[in-house]
Structures are given as structure tokens and as C-alpha cells.
Amino acid sequence: MRSLNNKTVYLDHFASTPCDERVVHAMLPYFVEEFANPSSFTHAPGISALRTVESSREKIANALGMKSREIVFTGGATESNNLAILGLATKAIRRHIVTSNIEHKSVLGPIDHLERNGFRVTRLTVNSKGELDLDRYIEAIDDDTLLVSIQSANNEIGTIQDINTLVKIAHERGALFHCDAVQAFGKVRFDFSNVDLLSLSGHKIYGPKGIGLLALKGGPDKMAISSICFGGGQESGLRPGTLNVPLIVGFAYAAQLAIEQLDSIGTIEAIRDRFERMLVAMVPDVKLNGNPLNRLPGGSSITFDGIEAESLLANLPEFALSTGSACSGGAVTPSHVLEAIGLGRNESFGTLRVCFGRGNSMEDAERLAEKLVDSVHRIRKLNEILN
């Protein structure tokens, strides 16, 4: 499935992905036919539902190279990030958190909350490619550091961090390491075996929305973490509430498919590269953001000098794309990620994010490049007339 309808080509796969039809098919029986609550141990349908959950937990653990007891299901990565950060802080003696200034807001938000409540926070800056400075990272972690939270890959510019090295350094200083791996899983090969806490979300890997996980190295019993929500004992007491069996089944199947299809991810990368080559060759004053040699396949963050991205989108109604700005409280603000890599306000407003995925074709890339070239030239000519 590559389009929202017969006219719109979907190119925003870092924001969300269409649910794979095979995943939908796997979920369907658990909405109507096998609908029992997995916490109902007194009858066969409930026990069957519980077995389905545990089977799915095992499948996801295998996809991650982890053990099933280490997987805690949540409502999505935002919840997982909050549980990891706030849940650890509840019982912590150490009072220092290290993160970067390009993390997802679901990481920065709970860390901001901890800072307002007495924690010390170090927010590491990145260079123009979105990379951390290793020397500054080493200096930032001290004997009071409870947690380091660094994403595996950025959701806007695609830059990939050297997680294994960062984890090793954090552990040498007695700190735990949390990784928001939402964007990387299923796009690139990663070894997450040394990460203490790992967040994932189903809808980024062609699975359903509303389901995610927090993986805890060694399992909840080995980690001094508390629930941030109360009312039940599900998921080792960390995530109370009736487990959503259909979504868990879909999440597990999507995770399996993501691993199986890693070898074909080069096709998506080739489509993205074709798009960028055409665009750069035909449009002057275009800047590609992030690290061109170390980024996620499929994604492209492009800044157009002197042009607002919203104007470009208005000329591209047949394509679903994102801009480098966000609407918050009725006001449009520049992306904190683009600001962190050195882009000014106008540059942020002139940035598009294009994210190719499964189902997109080389024809999609070429059509978008041609339409963008035409739109840029037309808008620039109009600007010259008006100015």
C-alpha cells in the first residue's frame, strides 16, 4: 500500500507506516472470535488469550535478541519513554540525567519534569550532522548519573548514533542506558543486547498504532523501576490495564516481518538516493540535513533557501510530506532538531522531510523530484517579481 487514496502518495514513513495487510489479517480473529481477557484465568478462553500474549512476547523477544521476560507491553513508545525515565527516578539515589538536545519530545518531556523536581540534567549538543561529541559525552557522565537516554537514530534527520560505544561508556561509570529505538528498528541492523532500557512502537514498523514496549535488561525484577500508573498488576505491575491482545499479536508479527525484510531495505535507500540526486542536480541552494554517510535509509531532510516549506506543500497536493516546523498551542514553531544542528528559523521553515517506505517506487521518487523542481522555480520567480 503506497497511497492514502488514488491521488495521494504517502511519503511520511518516519511519522507512521501503513499497517501491513498480513498484520491486519493476523489480528482479526482476536477482535471477535478470540476476544477474552488474558487476565481471566478461570476459563479456557482467558487462558488461551494469555497464551497468545506470551507467544507474541516470545516472538518480539526473538526479533530483538532478548528474553521474553524482559518485554513489557505499553501503549506506545511515548508511554515507554515516560515509564523508563520517570519509573527509574522514583527509587533513585543518583540524581543526574544525561541526554541530547535532539531527542524526541517524549524523552525530553519527562526529563524536563524531573529537572523541575530537583534532578540535575545535562543536555548534550550535537554537531551540524546531528552527531554527539564523544569527549563531551564522557565528561558529562559522573558518579551521580542515574540514566543516559540517547536515541538510536533521529526521527527528523535520520542520523544514527554509535549506541554500543555510548552504552559501554555509561556502564563504566555505573549509569543505566535508555534507548529510544523507534526509528532504527526494522530499518538498520542494531545490537541492542547491552542496552538497559529500550523503547519501541508498533506503528513505525508497519504494525498497529496504540501498542509499544519497554524492554528491561534482565526483566522487571532486576531493574529498580516503579510503575507510573496504578490500578492493576499486569506486566509485572509496571503497566496496569487489560492487555490489548489483537494489537500485541499485530506488533509481534510486524516485528518478525521487519527483521525478515531487513535485507531488502537497500531498495528503499536507492529510491531515496535517486530522489536526492535529481533534486540537487536541478535545484540550486538546496541543503541536505544530517549525516549523508550514517543515516537511516528512506529519509531525507531538505532545506530550500528562501522558500517556505508550507508553500511547497501547497504546490504538491498529491504527496503526503512533513515540514521542519510544528504546530504547538496554535503557534508554528521551528523544529528543535533543526535548531540544534544550526539551522536558523527561516531555514527550519524552509525544510521538508521526505520519508520513503515499503510500497514506494522509483517512479514516486522521480515524480516528486520533478514536481519539487517545478515548484521551487515557480515560487522563486514569483518572489523575484514581488520583491
Residues annotated as part of the active site: 327
d(CA 133, CA 326): 27
* Ordered alpha helix ranges (H), 163-206: 163-172
d(CA 225, CA 236): 11
Grid coordinates in use for 86?
A: 520517570
Q: Give the HSE-up count for residue 39: Cα atoms under 13 Å, Cβ half-sphere.
A: 11
387 alpha-carbon distance from chain centroid? 41
Triad 351, 353, 356: Cα angle to 5°: 155
d(CA 385, CA 342): 30
CB-based contact 351:332 (threshold 8 Å): no
The contacts found for 269-274 with CB under 8 angstroms, 24 or more apart, are 269/297, 269/298, 270/362, 271/298, 271/356, 271/360, 271/361, 271/362, 271/364, 271/365, 272/297, 272/298, 272/299, 272/300, 272/354, 272/356, 272/365, 274/362, 274/365, 274/366, 274/369
